[in-house]
Amino acid sequence: HADRAEAGWGGPPARPGDVSVATLTGPADAEPDVAVTLEAAAERITLPDGTVVEGYTIGGTTPGPLIEATQGDLVEVTLRNASVPDGVTLHWHGVDVPNAEDGVAGVTQEAVPVGGEHVYRFVAQDAGTYWYHSHQVSHRQVRLGLLGPLVVHPRATAAGADEAIALLHTYAGTRTINGTAGQQRHVVAPGTAARIRVINTDNAALRVWVAGAGFALLAVDGRDLTGATPVRDVAVVIGAGGRADLEITAPADGSAAVVRLGGGADLVVGPAGSRGPSGAAARDPGTELDLLGYGTPAALGFDPQAADRTFELAIGRRFGFVAGRPGLHWTINGHLFPDLPMFVVAEGDVVRMTISNSSGQAHPMHLHGHHVVVLSRDGVAATGGPWWTDSLEVRDGEEFEVAFVADNPGVWMDHCHNLPHAQQGLVAHLAYT
């Protein structure tokens, strides 16, 4: 599989400055708090509808096992490739790891060949909901199974805090939650609150809503929202690769709340045997929760108006020959990877970036190694938040302004997480001098 956009590398970093290797790699010799070995294999997998296809497993299953850590833990994951012919890596989607641990084939490491292994080590600095996936031929390997959930718990979690994961993945047209099609149940007593960690591992945006109860949106992309107050009858849109943590209280009358992920993928939250609303009462409410106005503003820790660098990332569409390739192309500033100059920053820079899209299609943009805060959409400034994101759904015609502090040296991908688009060249890089 020629995977030029993801396996290739357009050139050396702009100017190797005084960034030391130590800042790019995880801790070398400490004892890990969490140690996991995951074997990747090319296998026949049975899809939810019973058909058998050539796919992949990680740690024996797809999705792979949940990796759980507590904030501050040193996590060590040994990846072995049993039989994936194209090679394999693991990328910790949304975890701002040191650059060398980022798992991007052709940028931060070579793909692990059959029979090989690679050890990742990083400190889980930020509590939140994340996932891992292969970053080699990822438009194929992710779709066919090389992925799994990762949760970093806060140091102090209230005893008895109840939670569940709802990892959405579509296998050959069938939507699944944690690998199972149809209705799943998370058993909680009436009146109990549960944190549901929704992870969108698909290439398209996910609309999630709750029938039979309100919910508070506690976190987006692994970052807590301040002042998350309960809302009702709105859908949350989670871009490809994104996550949303919903707090749902099971109704006191013993009925269930139903978290709906579309296509019959439901998570029923309530006592055993309980039922939630059905029919019209369970339908998509139509309105979307606007994250720009949700929550209470809180200090960012930096001044986004005092930017050291401002960049524009304009996504467009071109038909014809681009970089010698014919066809329809999604471009960034008129270019395709690897012909797009890197966005170059120095450590400590405050960076502002305008991301616009006039391509006729949505593009979920994922920046590795950093979270960005959304300042505005279409010129309308955020009044809530702060809305930190690592996977931002940018619809056709939209323009976002985001900001971040360049605090994680290395060479980082910034790409569309509709993974076939990335494979076709919708990939930029952020590089530190």
The residues of the shown chain that bind ligand C2O, judged by CB under 6 A, are 91, 93, 133, 135, 241, 366, 368, 413, 415, 417
From 366, 388, 222, 378, select the one nearest 295 (Cα to Cα).
388
The residue type at 199? I
Q: Which is nearer to ligand C2O, 364 or 409 (CB)?
A: 364
What are the phi and psi torsion angles at 261 (to 5°)? -110, 10
Q: How far is the CB of 10 from ligand C2O (least distance, A)?
A: 16
Residues whose CB is less than 8 angstroms from the CB of residue 239 and which lie 6 or more positions away in sequence, other chains included? 200, 205, 364, 391, 392, 393, 417
Radius of gyration from C-alpha coordinates of the chain: 21
Q: What tokens were used for 303?
A: 């001044």
118 binds, among ligand C2O, Cu ion, none (CB under 5 to 8 A by kind): none
Q: How far is the CB of 421 from Cu ion (least distance, A)?
A: 3
**How far, in Å, are 8, 48, 369 from residue 4 at the CA level?**
5, 32, 22
377 binds, among Cu ion, ligand C2O, none (CB under 5 to 8 A by kind): none
Q: Which is nearer to Cu ion, 136 or 357 (CB)?
A: 357
Q: How far is the CB of 363 from Cu ion (least distance, A)?
A: 3
Q: Which is nearer to ligand C2O, 58 or 350 (CB)?
A: 58
| CA–CA separation, 23 and 409 (whole Å) | 7
The residue type at 154? P
Q: How far is the CB of 108 from ligand C2O (least distance, A)?
A: 11
Residue nearest to ligand C2O (CB): 93
Strands (E), 289-410: 309-319, 328-332, 343-345, 350-357, 363-367, 372-377, 380-381, 388-389, 391-394, 399-405
Q: Which is nearer to Cu ion, 216 or 365 (CB)?
A: 365
Q: Which is nearer to ligand C2O, 143 or 415 (CB)?
A: 415
End-to-end CA distance of the chain: 32
Task: Please answer whether residues 88 and 112 qualify as being in contact, where contact means their C-beta atoms are separated by less than 8 angstroms.
Answer: yes
Q: How far is the CB of 106 from Cu ion (least distance, A)?
A: 19
Task: Please answer whether residues 304 and 350 qualify as being in contact, where contact means their C-beta atoms are separated by less than 8 angstroms.
Answer: yes
121 binds, among Cu ion, ligand C2O, none (CB under 5 to 8 A by kind): none
Task: Please answer whether residues 375 and 304 qualify as being in contact, where contact means their C-beta atoms are separated by less than 8 angstroms.
Answer: yes
Q: Which is nearer to ligand C2O, 211 or 244 (CB)?
A: 244
Q: Which is nearer to Cu ion, 246 or 416 (CB)?
A: 416
Residue numbers at the binding site for Cu ion (CB under 5 A): 363, 416, 418, 421, 426
Q: How far is the CB of 50 from ligand C2O (least distance, A)?
A: 29
Q: How far is the CB of 287 from ligand C2O (least distance, A)?
A: 28
Q: How far is the CB of 135 from ligand C2O (least distance, A)?
A: 6
Task: Please answer whether residues 427 and 5 qualify as being in contact, where contact means their C-beta atoms are separated by less than 8 angstroms.
Answer: yes
Q: How far is the CB of 100 from ligand C2O (least distance, A)?
A: 15
Q: What tokens were used for 214?
A: 């309100």
Task: Please answer whether residues 331 and 318 qualify as being in contact, where contact means their C-beta atoms are separated by less than 8 angstroms.
Answer: yes
Q: Which is nearer to ligand C2O, 241 or 295 (CB)?
A: 241
Task: Please answer whether residues 294 and 244 qualify as being in contact, where contact means their C-beta atoms are separated by less than 8 angstroms.
Answer: no
| CA–CA separation, 167 and 79 (whole Å) | 21
Q: What tokens were used for 299?
A: 């200090």
From 182, 294, 292, select the one nearest 246 (Cα to Cα).
294
Q: Tokens 């805060």 identify what position?
A: 373
74 C-beta neighbours (distance < 10 Å), count? 17
Q: Which is nearer to ligand C2O, 171 or 294 (CB)?
A: 171
421 binds, among ligand C2O, Cu ion, none (CB under 5 to 8 A by kind): Cu ion
Q: Which is nearer to Cu ion, 190 or 420 (CB)?
A: 420
The residue type at 277? P
Q: How far is the CB of 138 from ligand C2O (least distance, A)?
A: 7
241 binds, among ligand C2O, Cu ion, none (CB under 5 to 8 A by kind): ligand C2O
SS3 208: strand
